[in-house]
Structure 1
Amino acid sequence: MERSVLIFDGDCGFCTTAVEFARRRMRIDAEIVPWQFTDLAALGTTRRRAEHEVLWITPDGRVRGGAQAVAVLLIAAGLPWAPLGVIMRIPPFRWIAHGVYRLIANNRHVLPGGTPACSLPASRRP
């Protein structure tokens, strides 16, 4: 791998909207792909993990998930986003970021752009 990869849930309207926002507003030197169209094993991760959280995979194979994936994305985007990403990596803000991420991820089906399908495991989605 030459560039980092951001993996997200392409079936989730909320996730897709968030990724499109990042593409439009941030300078991200990474490949951004839905997990549904990715060889997860080749990237060193699993379908179960990709269904559970957004993933950031570095060219050297480090996998970060959830709030820490978002933090690294923000850092990689440069100013004005990077300071927020740095803060999200420092305790106690790291713990707060994790809690907020889980709250959003667990309720994405009721957020703008979300659909009832977002609350289902990928194997049960229409």
Structure 2
Amino acid sequence: MSHAQTFVYDGDCAFCTKAAEFLEKHVRVTAKVVPWQWADLDALGVTQAQAEKAVLWIEDDHLRAGPDAIAVVLRRAQWYWRPFGWLLSSKLVSKLAWPVYRLIARNRHRLPGGTPTCSLPQAERNRRTAA
């Protein structure tokens, strides 16, 4: 099954939402940008665990996560963003980008736009919402 270009992020996290809004406004991706909580993950061929772990790029049955997903977004954007995408895709930069991505992901609740909810796993967010 083939999928349209889709960028999936954590819609419960204010930092992630702000980053996705930046992509839509300034990078102007042609892909569907959707929080995983609103996405049909089964139709996209991804699990909730994958979506919770990192941002995702899904296109033509190919899945990219984290900085690899961001690199694809940039490569598919306007000409002036593409060099950043190719740079991020290079082996050396990509290898360095993953630890940085994980560090940001673990601390996104401390970053501008982040909230305490950003630091909680989805199961804990659900418990707090239900309480």
Alignment check: 8 A CA contact 2:3 2:44 kept: no
Structure 2 match to 1:13: 14
Residue 30 of structure 1, CA deviation: 0.4
Greater fraction helix = 2
Larger Rg: 2
How many angstroms does 1:118 deviate by? 0.7
Identity among equivalent positions (%) equals 48
Residue aligned with 2:21, SS: helix
> What's the secondary structure of 2:117's corresponding residue?
helix
Deviations 1:92-114 (A, max 9, x none): 11111112111111110100111
Shift of 1:82: 0.8
Count, aligned residues: 125
Indicate the RMSD between aligned Cα atoms, in angstroms.
Answer: 1.1
The SS at the match of 1:92 is: helix
Matching residue of 1:107? 107
Within a 5 Å distance, the mapping from 1:1-126 to structure 2 comes to 3-58=4-59, 60-125=60-125, 126=129
Q: Structure 2: any 5+ residue segments left out of the alignment?
A: none
Q: CA deviation at 1:2?
A: 5.9
CA shift, 1:90, in A, is: 1.1
Deviates more, 1:65-74 or 1:35-44: 35-44
TM-score where L is the length of structure 1: 0.94
Unpaired runs of 5+ residues, structure 1, are none
Deviation >2 Å, runs of 4+: none
